[in-house]
Structures are given as structure tokens and as C-alpha cells.
Structure 1
Amino acid sequence: MTVVTDEGLPLAAEFPEATREQWQRLVAGVLRKAGKGELAGRAVEDALATRLEDGLVTRPLYTAEDAVDDPGFPGFPPFVRGGGAAGTAVSGWDVRQRHTDPDPVRTNEAVLADLEGGATSVWLTVGAGGVPVADLGRALDGVLFDLAPVVLDAGAETEAAARELIALFAARGVAPQDALGHLGADPLGLAARTGDTSDLAERSAAAAESAARYHRELPRVTALTVDALPYHEAGGSAAQELGCSLATGVAYLRDLTAAGLPVDAACALLEFRYAATADQFLTIAKLRAARRLWARVAEVCGVAPAGRAQRQHAVTSPVMMARRDPWVNMLRTTVACLAAGTGGADAVTVLPFDDELGLPDAFARRVARNTSAVLMEESHLARVIDPAGGSWYVERLTHDLSQAAWAWFQEIEGAGGQAAALGSGLVAARLSDTWERRSARLATRREPVTGVSEFPEPEQAPVVREPAPRPPGGGLPRVRRDEAYEALRARTDAHLAATGARPRVFLAALGSPAAHTARATFAANLFKAAGIEPVHEPVTVDAASAAEALAASGATVACLVSSDALYAERAEAVARALTSGGASRVFLAGRPGDAREAYEKSGIDTFVFAGCDAVAVLTSVLDHLGVA
């Protein structure tokens, strides 16, 4: 039997300790062979670093040297490691299902099915875009209000919906001290959605007064939501989402204390809602940073240490949901749910994979709620307190994101607070700038969207759902990662409906499959992202056969695909043959290098390669083909 010393088990004790400098030298050798030049020291890591939004940088290596602030312990300030001492390890997170169907009968069926299938709370859209206030009782028929909290999302009709829900508590014999729920008042979030900032200060104060009154009557019912989704859905970054939520939370604290509540009680009435994306580490860091930042705000406001914890509701990002090949959304929401749970969210809503197509069906809702069930009950994710804790990468990312978010929060406060920043257009302008930069990455496919900009399947039958009610608009825009490619696909779909065929591009492959397969695959994916059908028949062509193959393909646009070596030998002759055979436009898959002038003289119009502006290229092709 091995006796473990007081120092613990000396794993790999026989090997000398590897230093950061040794790692840098080895990597520098690899980069030198790859043609990256002579690099040394920190420059090696800089060459492999990834730059994110908000000025954040992720590096290839993290060690104890990168350790930053002490995250504390779970359940204690600054609550980075979780809002409770046991995190979600006792019972897991609250599985909160969202319902937007305006039909109260169908909504009731879906609500009961969700609760029977593992959901633990109900998130119900009421009023415009959801169930009418008068039908709230029918929609919630059979729901046990002392077991399953009801979370309202009623927008401008929040006060009426709150009164209706409270009346239901009384009508069904639920004692005031046993009633559970969240009334969902969020005047600042509604102003961000609708653009209506008139009398915003008065509306916010009125919501706070109602919240204070309901708190005295129903001690376990909270009232105010700090919803960061409007800023995320408008294209905001993680730091902008956090900064706006902090500014909103501070505004509500001011209103609640002005309404007569002690600051500790006011803090307990707030629930913060954040987006969880498929960028799992950024999501984990965002939720951890949100708790740290709010704990600091609460500390400055004089809240007792135990009351500084932030209650978090994470929702899988609508921005990342694709309308084409929506089945891939299941993968995105699974990663996002995993990140939300790992990040310590108290409640998690997984949007159904068909959410962007209309009203989700029963299968999609089942998959959504089972995502949480599998992660908690089979993967045992909820049995570990702060699974990401201790990772130097996550701790550093949490710290850096906190710094960026705090700077944005201070800027909003300096501009007069969240209401003033919304009214002046400061928030809208800053989010627009962020989305513009991100749109450029999406257009160049540096941020790929599987099933949309990468590996699309235009021939796949579209998934059709009953249209969902339109949510309130007029304020911040609602953006989607797939929107530029969706516009292209809509054009080719209309062309297909009108003519019975999709626009085509002929892939003129030079040489053997070993020489052209990689670029043929790249070009096919590129054109299919716009719904353009690639024709790769025959497998290979030369100057003598290119024109005939083009005519047989039925295309008037062609793209040369092969290796650089074969391009140098054959591209010009084949391009001339294609042009003389009727090709109105000829592409070449690859960078032209020094041969650009010669290629252009032979009839090659455009070069497509990894990192090119795919949206601009594909738009020009459709314009050229007359696809309206």
C-alpha cells in the first residue's frame, strides 16, 4: 500500500517542472516553421491570442501567474462562485419554460404538460403578444401556485396582470405567505423594447410603489425584473449587457427605497435576466461577473452581506437561433444551458429549437425542458458546486469582463442613468456599433453559423410553424446571427417558387480529386449559403471540355476549384474556355497572389477564399443573375 505524505500525492514528481519560458520556446519553433517569423517571450502568446468584444483577449496559456481577484466561497460575497453555499448542488436549477401562445386553452395544455414533464416554474407572456389578461385564470387552470411559481411577462399590462394573478391566488385558497411567483415589472426594459421613454421616471416609480405594496401582502412573490435581453437582442456585447443590467438595477433600487422599502428588502425584490449563448466560457464568466458586480453595488448601497446575492434567470440566446436547419439549434441551446448551469444561474429557460419559426410544437417544448433534465439528472452537472471554479482561464475572463462591464456601467451613470441613456440614444448607438462589427465577422464567416453560413442544406424542406404573436417593437432592434444569409435564402427560395429551379453555379474542377476536393467543398458551401445550387459534374474538366460541361450544367456562372499549382498551369485557359462557352461570370476559389492581373485578363472576375466577405459576394451573384 502506498503511503501518502503530508504534502499529498506527488503526481509526475519524477519529471522536471515545465516552465512558461520552455513552452514559449517550443511554440516559437512551431510558429517559425509555419512562416510566422522569429518570436520570443510574450510575443509568442500574443501571436496566438484571440481578441473578443469589449477589448477582451483570450490567450493560449493560463497559469497561476494569471490569477486575479479572490473569488471567495460559494454563498458568500462577492458570490462569484454561486449565490448559495451549496450552489445548485442540492436540487439543481429552476427549469423555467416560456409560453407565448395567445390561446389560453392551448397554453394551459402546454403548461400542464411542461410541469408534468419536469419543468418547475412557468414563464407566461400576458397581454400584447400573449394570453389576454382576462384569460389568465384559464391558462393557469390546474397549476398549484404554492408549488410552481408563475413568472409574468406582461409589458405595458403588468399592473393588470399582477392584479389578476393575485386574485387567482385568493380564489384558489392559496395563503399569502405560501404564494410563489414573480410579477415581472420592468418599465426600463419595456422602454428599451418599444422606444417609449415618455414619463419613464414616473412609470418606474409607480412600478416600484406597486412592488413594495405587493411585497407587504405576498412576502414570497417578487415583482421587478432587470431584463438584459433587450440589449443582448439588439446586438450588445456581454459587457454591455452586464452594464445595462447594473444601471437598471440601481435605478430600481432608488425607486424602491423611495417607495419606503429598506434597501435589503428592495434588493430581494429584483430578479436579473441574462442571455446564455453557445460561447460557453463567455457565458459562464458573464454570470459569475454579474454576481460579483451586483455584490459590489449592493455593498456600496449598504445591503447586508447575505442580501447581496443576485438572483439570476438565464435564457438561451434568441440571437443565436437559426431559422434554416433549425435542428442545429438543439446543439446551441444544449451548450448554452450547460454554460448557464455551470455559471450558477438560479433559473434556466431553454428556448425550443423552432422558437424563431413561430409557436413551438409539443416535441420542441419537450426537447427544451429535457435539455435541463439530462444535464442535471444524467450528467450530474448540478451536483458540483461551481464546476468552472479554479480554472485560471475562467477566473481571468470573469475579472476582465467585470472590468469592461463596470466601465460601461459608470458611463451610463455618468450620462444620468439608464433611463437617460435610453432616451438620449447612447445605449442604441453603442449597441449598433457593436453589432456592426460583429456583422462583419458573420459576413466573412469568421463567426460561422452551422447550417446557415457553414454546411447549409438548401434542399432541406423548411420547418413550418403557426405564426407567433409579434412582440412589442419600436425601440431597440432585434437582430439575429442568420439575418444576412436569411435574406439571401429568401431571394433564392422565391426564385425557386417562380421558376421551379434554384440558381446554379458550375464548379469547374481542375485535376484529380486530391487536388480539387478541398476547394470544391469550400466553394460548394459558400454558394449553398445563399441557396445557390453547385453543379460538380463532370468531376474534372480541362480547356477542351469546360464549355460543354458548363452548357450541360445549366449554369451561367462558374467557379474554378483546384490547387495553386494547377491554377498556375491551367486556370487561364479554362477561364477563357468558360467565358467563350457562355459563362457571364467566372470565380476562382483561392487567393490570386501575384497572378491576379493575368487571371483577370483571362476572364476571372472574382476570387473567393476563407475570410472573404461572403455576404457581399453572394449578393453580387444574385444581383448578376437577376434574382429579385
Structure 2
Amino acid sequence: MTEEWQKLVLGVLRKSGAATEDTTPAQAVELLTTTGYDGVPLKPLYTAADSDTLPRVMGRTANGWDIRQRHADPDPRATAEAARADLENGATSLWLVVGADGVPVDGLAAALDGVHLDLAGVTLDAGADAAAAAEAFLAAGGSSGNLGFDPLAGAGDLQTAAAFARQAADRAALRAMVVDATRYHDAGGSDAEELACSLATGVAYLRALTDAGLSVDEALAQVEFRYAATADQFATIAKLRAARLLWARVARACGADRATQAQHAVTSAAMMAGRDPWVNMLRTTLACFAAGVGGADAVTVLPFDHRLGLPDGFARRIARNTHSLLIDESSVARVADPAGGSWYVERRTADLARAAWAWFTEIEGAGGMAAALSSGLVAERLRATWDARAANLAHRRDPLTGVSEFPFLDEKLPRRRPAPQRDMHYYSEAFERLRDRADALSRRPTVYLATLGPPAAHTARVGFATNLFAAGGVAVTAGPVEGFASSGLSTACLCGSDRSYAEEASGAALTLASGGARQVWLAGKPGEYDGVTGYLYNGCDAVGVLEEVLS
């Protein structure tokens, strides 16, 4: 059956020109195999031969996940009102940003006014104010959730965190430590890099907690892991499954009686766009689905207007209802491990776990996570991955709907109260800088699309060029070559068919130049055309093109 499929694939590839008569069926499959940022191959077809012997570590039981809503409003009263609304309408726990970027520490009790702390868990995110926030939370009667100590991320120090962990160990529903791996994701890191950094950080915390007198089992129970969930649903599913597998391996090596990993999945902030933000609803729905299928214990859906500032009531409601729709209407949580048994997912989980373990052992060999952070080893690795990702985004190999693809030039963004933004990478950042640059001009920059031949010959490339230019905030107007001189514009782009280019492109480009065009682009593959200064085509450096056009 597999051989028959390979032969059919080979036939299609030969017809398309992607394969030759000498290409074998096995080579045809290799032509369709891609490689992600971790070097893990992604094949077009998986069979029983791809099954792996690594053990499966189950996630939460099939009874739904904790719907954890994030709040960062510095106004304690507004936070209390929003938190109560969330808890009354589907949310089951809170994630509170406290300190300089959120609720003041002395306002924490007021922010929790009306919240039944015996029913709703609260996870604190206080950065350098972690100790003061933990004290305030416990004084307010907090007894479940997480105190939010993450010393290697600047949230408290290890000694103080260990002291609070000893207190929390006496309360069954309270943890003290968070390994926030989203910071590595937000720096541009890959899935395996996020996993490896979380593993190395978790091991560092285990050492600190056991040195402070906690048993291995008590120390394991005090640590929760936070991962980013993206719109790449299978990548997220595999990442969460691999995370449990890896942490179980660490726990067994420590001689622990239990090997579960508490997981908090957050829809990726890096994938959120500031332009056409309503598309973020689709991204977060996919990410929430993947987090649920991947077995996360708690999931946070960031509101669609996250990039614009503090969310309004509508945005928070949509975020809450995303969970409810998936849990109650789509029954995503009725099965404990829906992806289990899929040859593709099992293989991807195993490959990702191996890639992460290799990077983890390199970090440990460098002296552990603290040493790897201070030496720049981690930053250098993440920077290299971001550079590769940024190149794919710029060339639109990693497309962003509403940003690099199908942008809406005339959109009116909703206004939100400002909120502190984390120092991080956003996938849309290069295109959004171009949009901001174009919007700051006194009038909309415009390119003249000089059409060749009848509409049937140029319509497709007119659409392609229009879409690409709009990604940088550049409008277009179309007309015949002869109309450019009276347009008052300085940039033109030829749009036609390959045949019309061969016959007319050079002459048309010279006509445009004589009419005042400082730049003459051509929508199509590069060729030998006199007077053409640049080309637009699938896979071109769109960011580079747009920067040159705007200049």
C-alpha cells in the first residue's frame, strides 16, 4: 500500500516538474519532507514503521482543563470586577500580574475582593516583587494556586523561593515555583529549545528545593511548568506530550515515586498580531484546542487585543468562551489523550523529546541553566533560531494572515488602555514596523501597477503585487504603461504574463523610467529585462522589497 502511494506521488511530482524520470519513489517522499527549526523531519506520510518505543506519559484526566484567565490591570478595583466576571462566567482560576507591570502589591487584597480563594486558585506573576506578593497573597487568605517564584527569570531568589516552598508544601493545593518557558519561546526559540530550557530550569529548582530540606517528591510537587501554545496545533500537541515524557525521565533519575508534570499552557504572545487583531481569535482557538488535546492541566487564552493594551470585557469574554466551546460543545476534553496512537504524533513527540534532551544535556554540561544564561549560551542559541525564523517570515514562507498575507490597509484598530509590553519578539514585528512607517507619512505611499496585455493576462499578478505591497502599508493603483507619466507617482510595478514579459517588459520598463519612475519592479521571477530594478515573486524577501519601496 505504501509503495503504491509513493508511485502515485512520484507521478504527480514528475508532471509538476519537481521530479525527473530518474527520481525513485523513496526520493519522491524525501522531496515532500520538510525540516522544522529543531531539525526534526516532517514526512508526508507516517505508517506503523514510524512507531516509537518511548513510553507514553498521560496528561490530565478526561474531565476538562483549568480555565485560567490572565489579569494585568494596575487598577485593583477594575481587576477585582473583571476577575469576578470571569469566575462567574466560565473561568476556574486566575493569573494575576502583580508589581510594576500589573496590580500594585499593596493593592493585591483589593484586587481579590469578592474572589472565593477557597474555590478559585490564583497564580501570581510578580517578577522582582515575588516575595512581597506571596506574603500579601497568603495574608489575604490565599491557599491554592501558585506563588509564582521563578528565580532564574528574575522572580525572586532561590533561597527565598525555597522558604516559601516549605510553607506551600503543607497546603495540598498550593505551589511556590513556576518554570516559565514562554520567555524562551518569546525570544524566538524553537519547541525543543523551549523544552530543554524548561527542563534545565526545573532541575535547577529541584536541586535548590531538596538542598533546602524538601524530599524529591515534595520538591516535584512544588514546580509548575508554563509553555506556549501556538496555532501550529500538531507542534503544540507534541511539545506538551514530550514535556511530560522528559520530566518523567528526570523524576525517575531522581528516584521519585511520582512523575507527573503540572502544565500551564498559554496561547503564544509571539504569534499575536497588532494588525488585523481579530485574526488572533482564530490563532488562539487553534492554540487552545492544541493545548487541550496535548493534555495541559491549565490553559490561558490571551485576549485577541493583547497587543493593543489592556483587554476590554468583550475580549475577555471571547477568550473565556473559546475554552467553553471546545470543552462543552466540541467535547475536546472527553478523551484523555486524543492524539495517542497516531503514528505521526507519536513519532513527532519522540523526535522532539530527543532533540530537547540533547540540548538539555548540553546546558547541563555547561554548568546548568544559571551558568548557560550568564555565559550567553542560551541567548546565542535562541538568537540563531530567531534569525532563521525571521528570514522565513520575511520571505513569507511562514505566512501571517492579516499581516504578510491579505492585509487590510484601511482597518481601524480598536483603542485600548496601554499596558506594559514584554521585551520579546513578535512574528509580525517586521511587517508592523513597515506599516507604522507608511502610516506616519502625510499621504499613503502608492505604487503604480503598469499592466501588460488583457485582464486575463495580468489579473493574477496584479492581485499578488497588491497583496505584497499592502503588507508594508503601500497602496496601489493600476493602469496601462502609458498612464504612469500622469500618475504623479515615483514607483511602478509591471504586471503581466511570462509571455508578455518576454515581448514587452524591457520596452515598458524604459517607458516607465522616462516617465519619471525611480523604481521599476516586475511581478514575476527574475529575468534579463532592461530597466527593471527589482522583482516580486513567491519566496522573495518581501520585507526587503517593502523597505526599498518605502525608502
Report if TM-score (shorter chain) is over 0.5: yes
| 8 Å CA contact retained: 1:211, 1:224 | yes
How many angstroms apart in 2 are the aligned matches of 1:513 and 1:112? 58
How many angstroms apart in 1 are the aligned matches of 2:47 and 2:172? 46
Structure 1 residue 29: Cα displacement:
1.6
Alignment of 1:451-462 (within 5 A): 451-462=402-413
Q: What's 2:424 paired with?
A: 478
| 8 Å CA contact retained: 1:189, 1:228 | no
Alignment of 1:50-449 (within 5 A): 50-72=34-56, 79=57, 82-84=58-60, 87=61, 89-90=62-63, 92-169=64-141, 179-190=143-154, 203-216=157-170, 218-304=171-257, 307-449=258-400
| 8 Å CA contact retained: 2:310, 2:416 | yes
The aligned amino acid for 1:83 is G
Q: What's 1:34 paired with?
A: 16
Q: What does the per-residue CA deviation read over 1:392-435, in whole Å, with 9 as the maximum and x for residues that have no partner?
A: 11010001000000001001100111111111111111100100
Q: What's 2:457 paired with?
A: 515
The aligned amino acid for 1:522 is F
1:21 aligns with 2:12: no
> Between the two proteins, what is the percent identity of the paired residues?
59
Q: What's 1:588 paired with?
A: 522
How many angstroms apart in 2 are the aligned matches of 1:382 and 1:553? 59
Structure 1 residue 210: Cα displacement:
2.1
Q: What's 1:45 paired with?
A: 29
* TM-score for the superposition, normalised by structure 1: 0.86
How many angstroms apart in 2 are the aligned matches of 1:28 and 1:224? 53
SS of residue matched to 1:122: strand
Q: What does the per-residue CA deviation read over 1:567-609, in whole Å, with 9 as the maximum and x for residues that have no partner?
A: 112222222221121211110011134xx1xx1x2x2111111
The aligned amino acid for 1:460 is E
Q: What's 2:546 paired with?
A: 618
Select between 285-294 and 559-568 the one with higher mean Cα deviation.
Answer: 559-568
Q: What does the per-residue CA deviation read over 1:456-511, in whole Å, with 9 as the maximum and x for residues that have no partner?
A: 1111112321110355xxxxx5100111111111111110xxx2x20100111112
Choose from 556, 563, 568 the match for 2:497: 563
The aligned amino acid for 2:458 is H
Structure 1 residue 25: Cα displacement:
1.5
Q: What does the per-residue CA deviation read over 1:56-77, in whole Å, with 9 as the maximum and x for residues that have no partner?
A: 11001100011112544xxxxx
Alignment gaps of 5+ in structure 2: none
How many angstroms apart in 2 are the aligned matches of 1:126 and 1:587? 51
SS of residue matched to 2:337: coil
SS of residue matched to 2:351: helix
The aligned amino acid for 1:185 is F
| 8 Å CA contact retained: 1:492, 1:530 | yes
How many angstroms apart in 2 are the aligned matches of 1:356 and 1:552? 41
Structure 1 residue 293: Cα displacement:
0.3
| 8 Å CA contact retained: 1:285, 1:401 | yes
| 8 Å CA contact retained: 2:522, 2:535 | yes
SS of residue matched to 2:147: strand
How many angstroms apart in 2 are the aligned matches of 1:149 and 1:242? 25
Choose from 532, 538, 541 the match for 2:474: 532
Q: What does the per-residue CA deviation read over 1:246-281, in whole Å, with 9 as the maximum and x for residues that have no partner?
A: 001101111111111110111011100000001110
Structure 1 residue 208: Cα displacement:
1.5
How many angstroms apart in 2 are the aligned matches of 1:270 and 1:490? 41
Structure 1 residue 552: Cα displacement:
4.5
Q: What's 1:573 paired with?
A: 507
The aligned amino acid for 1:299 is R
SS of residue matched to 2:95: strand
How many angstroms apart in 1 are the aligned matches of 2:29 and 2:194? 29
Distance of aligned partners of 1:470 and 1:65 in 2 relative to their CA distance in 1, 3 Å threshold: closer
| 8 Å CA contact retained: 1:102, 1:469 | no
How many angstroms apart in 2 are the aligned matches of 1:106 and 1:469? 17
How many angstroms apart in 2 are the aligned matches of 1:246 and 1:357? 32
Structure 1 residue 206: Cα displacement:
2.7
1:609 aligns with 2:537: yes
How many angstroms apart in 2 are the aligned matches of 1:437 and 1:299? 35
| 8 Å CA contact retained: 1:322, 1:329 | yes
Structure 1 residue 441: Cα displacement:
0.3
RMSD of the alignment, in Å?
Answer: 1.3
Alignment gaps of 5+ in structure 1: 1-18, 73-78, 171-178, 192-199, 472-476, 624-628
Choose from 400, 416, 421 the match for 1:465: 416
| 8 Å CA contact retained: 2:105, 2:136 | yes
Q: What's 1:196 paired with?
A: none
The aligned amino acid for 1:480 is Y
